Amino acid sequence: MLTLDTDLQLALDLVGVFVFALTGGLVAVKKRLDLFGVLVLAAAAALGGGVLRDLLIGDTPPVGISDWRLLGTAVLAGLVTFVFHPGVERISKVVRVLDAAGLATFAIGGSLKALGAGVSPLAAVVIGCITAVGGGMVRDVLAGQVPEVLRREMYALPALLGSTVLVAAHQADRMSVAAIWACVGLVFVIRMVAVVLDVHAPKPLRTGELT
Amino acid sequence: MLTLDTDLQLALDLVGVFVFALTGGLVAVKKRLDLFGVLVLAAAAALGGGVLRDLLIGDTPPVGISDWRLLGTAVLAGLVTFVFHPGVERISKVVRVLDAAGLATFAIGGSLKALGAGVSPLAAVVIGCITAVGGGMVRDVLAGQVPEVLRREMYALPALLGSTVLVAAHQADRMSVAAIWACVGLVFVIRMVAVVLDVHAPKPLRTGELT
Amino acid sequence: MLTLDTDLQLALDLVGVFVFALTGGLVAVKKRLDLFGVLVLAAAAALGGGVLRDLLIGDTPPVGISDWRLLGTAVLAGLVTFVFHPGVERISKVVRVLDAAGLATFAIGGSLKALGAGVSPLAAVVIGCITAVGGGMVRDVLAGQVPEVLRREMYALPALLGSTVLVAAHQADRMSVAAIWACVGLVFVIRMVAVVLDVHAPKPLRTGELT
């Protein structure tokens, strides 16, 4: 099974975990949760997607609660948000770019791990998407709000496209380190384009509009 | 292990998936979610119960994210709801009848699969119920509302009764294709009676009413 | 693997299940759910933490849906709440003490089971906490409210401390029945002190307060 270089994969994972944890911490601060609430939402946002991935492929205990580097990074980001949250909000553009990078590495890394576990191609695509957006969904459900990914932004589609291309390359026996990187870049670029152009997915017509 | 005829089982599953996905799509439309939100809630409603079932019996990856016929049917129903939702709402009586059929096949099919995995009789009953109502619960939690099954209707009780009778037949070594069908019919009929008579489960007395 | 005496462990588990189920039933009554909703929230609060624990360590089907003594106790407590809820509210101080006992036995019992499954020390601590607070989180998410453990009280910290001490003892090869009991007592005492002194975790400064 081809994968990213281990150290690089870990570095990318940690960036994703850190940034996703910042988003979790910010939601918790907005909801006026206490320190524990901030840390839990930070960890849920950062690790929830990977925990779901590991449960879905039967790899227990999930690495997100088992490896101190991941949990430690999430807790650190939660503490940073707790103490410096006005500063974190001020650099929200930087957070958005890093968040797109996290989305990309989580989606492709999730699909790679699922393929390595021998699941069907469809499951590998779905699990990649769940790895990428699952943490944010857990964060929002715990915070009592409809998951942002369902409401506001062209967020899941880049992950879906990238994971699909990756799995297609795997099925065509064209997997390589370059292909993996291309998929990571694809997710990142599409997501950034959506952010910059403020693209949204279409909404259903209101009943009145249709008649 | 006795089961339903495979083709028939699949046909029933697909009907259940399609109808449950319609209910998920309708909730998403009501919440003004975008296209992705409609598709995710459709898939969550249709496949959530089966995914929970498979996680609880340790059958990973869950068939709901692994078999393209199930996921494809759910996505198709989501698209139908997205485009034609006023029409889908207009045939809500038809949806209710099909929903009762989905409830019946999911409950009995879930208990059968759990028995096949060698779980305890109690677990087989519980897993049947979770298969039947779990998708709707995931749908409602993601949509930010208290699960309908906890609030409004005599919905879970038919599933509970049907699964209990099925597991009792299994324990008594009286399992047969006819018994399975009888249980499916039992759930369907009780549910339809509850719909037609507008029967509800009792509510707790208010504190004031008791004193 | 050292564990508590089986009968005693079961007795403690059942006390925890009963009390947690009361809290679930009370939330359901406040939300005006019907009988089924009361029973489901009672079971979710009582068994949710253990079900999450078993999913995270891959022990399926989870004992919470497989052992009739646990589910039966939860359902009994749900019925008690349904019928006698004003009385249950009146003895809320007793419920709080028993709840602290449940928190203690669930946290330590959860970590013990996780250690027995061979997980990493970190995972054993995290799983102990999830066992202790997970049921309440599931209860609150289903009831449509932000989990109380994130909002209001010094609730998770005692569980975290107790599980950490237990796992440290295990790593240092100093595990004994006395050590287990000491950890249970530690969680209980810290929790009760927090209740009596009305201690809360710190909250983030508002943006205005910081500038």
| pLDDT tens-place string over residues C134-168 | 999 999 999 999 998 888 668 889 999 999 999 99
What pLDDT, on a 0 to 100 scale, did the predictor assign at position B82? 92
> Taking residues A162-169, what's their average pLDDT?
97
Does A211 map to a domain? no
pLDDT for the residue A148: 87
What's the pLDDT tens digit per position in A85-137? 887 777 778 888 888 999 999 999 999 999 999 999 999 999 999 999 999 99
pLDDT level of residue B205 (50, 70, 90 thresholds): low
Q: How many domains does chain A have?
A: 1
CB contact under 8 A, B61 and A120: yes
Q: CA-based diameter of chain C, in Å?
A: 57
Is the CB of A94 inside 8 Å of chain B's CB atoms? no
Q: Is pLDDT at A156 greater than 60 in this prediction?
A: yes
Q: Which pLDDT value is given to residue C98? A: 86
Report how far residue B161's alpha carbon sits from residue B188's, in angstroms, rounded to the nearest whole number. Answer: 11
- Residue A150 belongs to a domain: yes
The pLDDT value recorded for residue C209 is 47
**Please, which residues 3-62 of chain C have a Cβ atom closer than 8 Å to chain A?**
55-58
- Cβ separation of C35 and B204 shorter than 8 Å? yes
At A48-88, the pLDDT tens digits run 999 999 999 999 999 999 999 999 999 999 999 999 988 77
User: What is the pLDDT averaged over residues A10-33?
Assistant: 89
Least confident of A130-134, B1-5, B153-157: B1-5
Instruction: Tell me the mean pLDDT in the region C190-195.
Output: 91
- State yes or no: pLDDT of C39 exceeds 90: yes
Q: Which of B41-45, B144-148, B195-199 is most confident? A: B41-45
**Position C211 pLDDT exceeds 90:** no
The ipTM, to two decimals, is 0.89
Is the pLDDT score of C2 beyond 70? no
Reading phi first (left if > 0) and then psi (alpha if -120 to 50, else beta), residue A58 is in: left
* Token pair for B179: 């018994």
Mean predicted confidence (pLDDT) in B138-145: 94
Count of CB atoms situated within 10 Å of the CB of B172? 9
CB atoms within 10 A of CB C6: 8
What is the model's pLDDT at position A58? 95
pLDDT grade for A4, boundaries at 50, 70 and 90: low
Q: Indicate whether B169 belongs to any domain.
A: yes
B201 pLDDT band, cuts 50/70/90, is low
* pLDDT level of residue A46 (50, 70, 90 thresholds): very high
Residue A211: predicted pLDDT: 38
Q: Is residue C195 part of a domain?
A: yes
The pLDDT of residue A90: 79
Give mean pLDDT, residues B36-54: 95
String of b and e for A148-179 (b: at least 16 CB within 10 Å)? bbbbebbbbbbbbbbbbbbbebbeeeebeeeb
- pLDDT bucket at C43, cuts 50 / 70 / 90: very high
pLDDT of residue A185: 95
Task: List pLDDT tens digits, range C84-111.
Answer: 888 777 777 888 888 899 999 999 999 9
- Which residue of chain B has the CA closest to A210? B86
Specify the pLDDT at position B109. Answer: 92
Query: What's the whole-number mean pLDDT along residues B47-64?
Result: 95
Residue of A137, A145, A157 with shortest CB distance to B36: A157
Distance from the Cα of B144 to chain C's closest Cα (Å) equals 7
CA C16, CA C77: separation in Å to the nearest integer? 11
Q: Which of residues 142-181 of A touch B (CB under 8 A)?
A: 144-147, 149-152, 154-157
Query: Does A101 contact chain C (CB < 8 Å)?
Result: no
Answer whether the bond into residue B62 is a cis peptide, omega within 30°.
Answer: no
* Cα nearest neighbour of A207 on chain B: B86
Q: Are C56 and C117 in contact (CB under 8 A)?
A: no
CA distance C208 to A155: 31
Mean pLDDT on B181-200:
90
Residue B210 predicted with pLDDT over 90: no
Which chain C residues are closer than 8 Å to A62 by Cβ? Answer: 56
Neighbours of chain B (3+ CB pairs under 8 A): A, C
A209: confidence class by pLDDT, cuts 50, 70, 90: very low
Considering the domain boundaries, does residue C155 fall inside one? yes
Contact B36 A141 (CB under 8 A): no
Q: Is residue B100 part of a domain?
A: yes
- Give the pLDDT confidence score for residue A94 in this predicted structure: 82
Q: How many CB atoms lie within 10 A of CB C192?
A: 16
Q: Give the pLDDT band (50/70/90) at residue B152.
A: low
Interface probe, candidates A59, A140, A146, A160, chain B, greatest B C-beta count within 10 A:
A146
Residues 6+ apart with CB under 8 A from A124: A111, A114, A115, A163, A167, A170
Pick A122 or A35 by higher pLDDT.
Answer: A122
pLDDT at C142: 95
Mean pLDDT of chain A: 89
Model pLDDT, residue A5: 65
In a domain, A210, yes or no: no
Which of B162-166, C4-8, C176-180 has the weakest average pLDDT?
C4-8
pLDDT value of residue A11: 79
Quote the mean pLDDT of chain C. Answer: 89
> Which chain A residue lies closest to B140 (C-alpha atoms)?
A146
Nearest by CB to B56, from C31, C60, C142: name it: C60
Query: In the prediction, which pLDDT does B9 show?
Result: 74
Contacts for C95-99 with beta carbons within 8 Å, 24 or more apart?
Answer: C95/C19, C95/C22, C95/C23, C96/C195, C97/C192, C98/C15, C98/C18, C98/C19, C99/C19, C99/C20, C99/C23
Please state the rounded mean pLDDT for residues A3-11.
70
Q: Which residue has the higher pLDDT, A42 or C93?
A: A42
SS3 A190: helix
Whole-angstrom distance, CA of residue B113 vs CA of residue B50 = 10
Helix residue ranges per DSSP H, chain A = 6-30, 35-56, 63-66, 68-90, 92-116, 121-142, 148-151, 156-171, 177-197, 207-210
Parent domain of B159:
6-201
CB contact (8 A) between residue A82 and residue C204: yes
CB contact B122 to C (< 8 Å): yes
Percent of residues, chain B, with pLDDT higher than 90: 65
B211 touches chain C (CB under 8 A): yes
Residue B110 lies in a domain: yes
Residues 6+ apart with CB under 8 A from A46: A16, A17, A18, A20, A21, A24, A64, A70, A73, A74, A77, A135
Q: What share of chain C is helix, strand, coil (3-state, %, to 5)?
A: 80, 0, 20
